[in-house]
Amino acid sequence: MQQPHELVVLLLKGVIFRHTEYRSLEEYLTEKYRFRRVEEKEHVVSEDRQIIPADHKRIVFDEESKSPVVLEETEEKISTLKIYEGEYLDARIFVYVMGDVVQREDVVAEAGGGEQYPVYTSEYQLIKLVSSSGYALQQLIERLTIDLGLDIRSKEWVFHRSREG
């Protein structure tokens, strides 16, 4: 008799990833959790780079004078399908990055012309996570949300049962 095989799918829509060290969620997953890339297809839709002049004229409030200043912005819009595979809590997990991804890199300087550093932001249209363990998916997303401050517009759980054979 064939045993049913259950898969849990978690769809994340409108995900925003922001970090000063890792360029993307995929890079974070590969370096921090040892996920590996299974497949990658992407097409650059548009690319824009803007250098903001240091002598821009505007009113600066006292609070703003202490906040970091963006010196350069680079934005790239990509249509993509990327598949990553890894393990979390002893469960095998597949991560699909699908649709449009907007990746931005802002070069930021501390107030008063201090140290410069990049801030990477990726906005994902759709990320699909698939595993046989819904618990592992839930825990991974909670861990990523806590560690990275992921902003997720909507989550949708789908449960799928099929026969192996």
50 falls in which pLDDT band (50, 70, 90)?
low
Domains and CATH numbers, the chain: 4-48+77-102+121-163 (3.30.70)
**In the block, residue with structure tokens 């963006």:** 70
pLDDT (0 to 100) of residue 82: 95
161 CB contacts (<8 Å, ≥6 apart)?
4, 5, 6, 7
pLDDT (0 to 100) of residue 151: 94
pLDDT tens sequence across 113-128:
678 889 999 999 999 9
62 falls in which pLDDT band (50, 70, 90)?
very low
Strands (E), the chain: 4-19, 36-51, 69-88, 91-109, 116-131, 151-163
60 falls in which pLDDT band (50, 70, 90)?
very low
Structure tokens of 151? 């902003």
pLDDT (0 to 100) of residue 31: 96
Q: What is the mean pLDDT of residues 54-65?
A: 47
> Mapping DSSP to helix (H, G, I), strand (E, B) and coil, where does residue 4 land?
strand
What does residue 4 show for φ and ψ, rounded to 5 degrees? Answer: -70, 145
Q: What is the mean pLDDT of residues 9-16?
A: 96
pLDDT (0 to 100) of residue 165: 43
Cross-strand partners of 89: none
| Residue 66 per-residue DSSP state | G
pLDDT tens sequence across 79-135:
999 999 999 999 999 999 999 999 999 988 876 667 888 999 999 999 999 999 999
**In the block, residue with structure tokens 């978690």:** 10
Structure tokens of 41? 């297809």
